[in-house]
Amino acid sequence: MSISQSIFKAYDIRGIVKQDLTPENVKLIGLAIGSESIAKGERSVVVGRDGRLSGVDLMQALKAGLQESGCHIVDIGMVPTPLVYFATHTKASTSGVMITGSHNPPEYNGFKIMIAGETLSGERIQALYRRIQIGDFSSGHGTSTKVDIEQDYIECITRDVKLDKPLHIVVDAGNGVAGNIAPKLFEQLGAKVTKLFCLVDGNFPNHHPDPSKLHNLEDLIKEVKSTGADMGFAFDGDGDRLGLIDNKGNVIWADRQMILYSRDILKRNQGAKIVFDVKCSSLLPKDIVQHGGEAIMSRTGHSFIKAKLKETGAALGGEMSGHVFFKERWYGFDDALYTGSRLLEILSKTNKTCAQIFDDLPNSINTPEINIHFEKQGQQFDAMNKLAKNIDFPNAKITTIDGVRVDYDNGWGLVRPSNTTPCLVLRFEANDEKILNEIQEKFKVWLKSNDIATVTDF
């Protein structure tokens, strides 16, 4: 088979359309997913797609493979990723495939996969590749049924989430698929919504739909300030990551949001477990423990966080990048629409502004994600392997569950390989600017001593 193993990544399948993802290859992927689902006892598969230009053709090829394997398809059309997850929890099927390139450039697309209730990652994704290589496919004649799930989803959230007062929000969908549903959902909750780039356009003509990058939030910040809105929400391309701007135009990264969500949940669930990824602030686990919870660190990646929630029975999970997973009152999958709804609910119960709420939470000096780029996919893993063999940070706590995290009493630094793009991801935090600079300098020396010299970004 001509399909490249390189597109079978840590927590999804992702590649360049017409190069890696040809109709023939995508049909093989569908055959493999369908065969694996049937092997796990699930003969139907929910399928959805985001708003990328290649989505229609990839959907057709994927469905052909799924049906040839003997799977019956529940086609829910163009929807945010959380609606596929929602369908696997509320409809007849526990398997699902979301066709999405997430935050990658427009020429990319990919597949997030759930089989018999489990989101695939790591070895389970590699097993699909091996199934394709040896042609280990089931066969049959599956059917396809179109189902509109949007209103069921909105009604499920509006039954659960209640606002004590109306709030004004700006919604920036970045021309991603969340623009189809987010304004409707928040208006039905009782919010006033100002729309920004909510028309779905796979060319992403205004800015890239990645709320983890500050430059993609500039338009939203301006709109929040000019309209006097209570806050602004930014969505990624497939609606499973949320960016937040407070009423003063400040960016509130997801690990700071997680402190608020954790406190809210722990009021009702003392002793609850809360999962966070290695990129999150050290203030988050401290605050969780101080408010009666148990803090659990995880690898970065939506499938890893979901697996950790399932393993530990945690009530909440979250990543620095904006994936937040509510298990309390919801289903435990990453859902930016539901996360935004819960945030509105929390803020509607106070007379404080969004900025005042977050100003009252513990804070530190920290950086956003810093990327060191490489020319080719895979080079980031080679660099990380070299760094991991030469760790040199005396008197620090070293964590290696995902890259290398170096914790001191007064700050920390992290370097880890991105699983989706050829880069190393770094982040730093400290009690003050001086300590932050000192930790960054230690990392620069370490990187340079291992021949990774592209460190001018920080």
Same domain, 235 and 262: no
Same domain, 20 and 139: yes
Same domain, 16 and 122: yes
Same domain, 276 and 233: no
According to the model, what pLDDT value does residue 252 have? 97
| Token representation of residue 320 | 């620095």
In a domain, 161, yes or no: no
Q: Identify the band that residue 457 occupies on the pLDDT scale cut at 50, 70 and 90.
A: low
According to the model, what pLDDT value does residue 368 have? 84
Rounded Cα gap, residues 161 and 157, in angstroms: 6
Same domain, 238 and 258: no
Q: Would you say 240 and 176 are in contact if contact means Cβ atoms under 8 Å apart?
A: no
Q: Identify the band that residue 453 occupies on the pLDDT scale cut at 50, 70 and 90.
A: low
According to the model, what pLDDT value does residue 369 have? 85
| Token representation of residue 53 | 């230009």
Same domain, 91 and 227: no
In a domain, 343, yes or no: no
Would you say the pTM of this structure is higher than 0.85?
A: yes
Over 60: is that where the pLDDT of 1 sits? no
Q: Which has the closest alpha carbon to 285: 424, 371, 407?
A: 407
171 is in which domain, residue-wise?
A: 166-247
Instruction: Establish whether 364 is a catalytic residue.
Output: no
| Token representation of residue 312 | 């530990």
Q: Which has the closest alpha carbon to 322: 232, 231, 257, 264?
A: 257
Q: Which has the closest alpha carbon to 148: 76, 87, 92, 99?
A: 76
Q: By three-state DSSP, how is residue 255 classified?
A: helix
Q: Which has the closest alpha carbon to 443: 427, 421, 420?
A: 427
According to the model, what pLDDT value does residue 458 have? 65
Q: What average pLDDT does range 418-446 have in this prediction?
A: 94
Last residue of a domain, one of 214, 247, 280: 247
Q: Which has the closest alpha carbon to 79: 184, 150, 14?
A: 150
Q: By three-state DSSP, how is residue 279 classified?
A: coil
Q: By three-state DSSP, how is residue 373 classified?
A: strand
Q: Would you say 300 and 399 are in contact if contact means Cβ atoms under 8 Å apart?
A: no
According to the model, what pLDDT value does residue 2 have? 82
Same domain, 79 and 144: yes
According to the model, what pLDDT value does residue 406 have? 98
Q: What average pLDDT does range 385-413 have in this prediction?
A: 97
pLDDT tens digit sequence for 71-119: 999 999 999 999 999 999 998 899 999 999 988 889 999 999 999 999 9
- How far is residue 224 from each of residues 246, 268, 301, 458, measured CA to CA in Å? 8, 32, 30, 29
Same domain, 435 and 301: no
Other Cβ atoms closer than 10 A to 403: 22
Buried b (16+ CB within 10 A) or exposed e, 133-159: eeeebbeeebeeeeeebbeebbebbee
Region of 270 please: left (phi>0), alpha (psi -120 to 50) or beta.
Answer: beta
Over 90: is that where the pLDDT of 404 sits? yes
| Token representation of residue 63 | 């469905």
Q: Would you say 403 and 413 are in contact if contact means Cβ atoms under 8 Å apart?
A: no
Place of tokens 């600017």: 433
At 305, which CATH number? 3.40.120.10
In a domain, 211, yes or no: yes
Last residue of a domain, one of 192, 224, 247: 247
Last residue of a domain, one of 116, 149, 182: 149
- How far is residue 200 from each of residues 175, 187, 215, 432, measured CA to CA in Å? 5, 19, 20, 42
At 407, which CATH number? 3.30.310.50
Q: What average pLDDT does range 25-51 have in this prediction?
A: 99
Q: Which residues contact 31 (CB under 8 A, 6 or more apart)?
A: 65, 66, 68, 69, 132, 137
Same domain, 176 and 81: no
According to the model, what pLDDT value does residue 235 have? 98
In a domain, 338, yes or no: no
Same domain, 196 and 294: no
Q: What average pLDDT does range 112-128 have in this prediction?
A: 96
CA-CA-CA-CA torsion sign (367, 368, 369, 375): negative
In a domain, 393, yes or no: yes
Q: Which residues contact 64 (CB under 8 A, 6 or more apart)?
A: 27, 30
Other Cβ atoms closer than 10 A to 80: 32
Same domain, 206 and 266: no
Same domain, 60 and 129: yes
In a domain, 194, yes or no: yes
Length of the chain: 458
According to the model, what pLDDT value does residue 247 have? 99
According to the model, what pLDDT value does residue 438 have? 97
Q: Hey, which residues does 151 pair with through a beta bridge?
A: none
pLDDT tens digit sequence for 4-27: 999 999 889 999 999 999 999 999
In a domain, 77, yes or no: yes
pLDDT, mean over the chain: 96
Q: What percent of the chain has pLDDT over 70?
A: 98
Rounded Cα gap, residues 432 and 417, in angstroms: 27
Rounded Cα gap, residues 257 and 129, in angstroms: 37
Q: Hey, which residues does 192 pair with through a beta bridge?
A: 168
In a domain, 203, yes or no: yes
Tally of domains within the chain: 4
Q: Would you say 426 and 18 are in contact if contact means Cβ atoms under 8 Å apart?
A: no
State the catalytic residue, choosing from 37, 69, 93, 102. 102
Q: What are the phi and psi torsion angles at 202 (to 5°)?
A: -65, -5
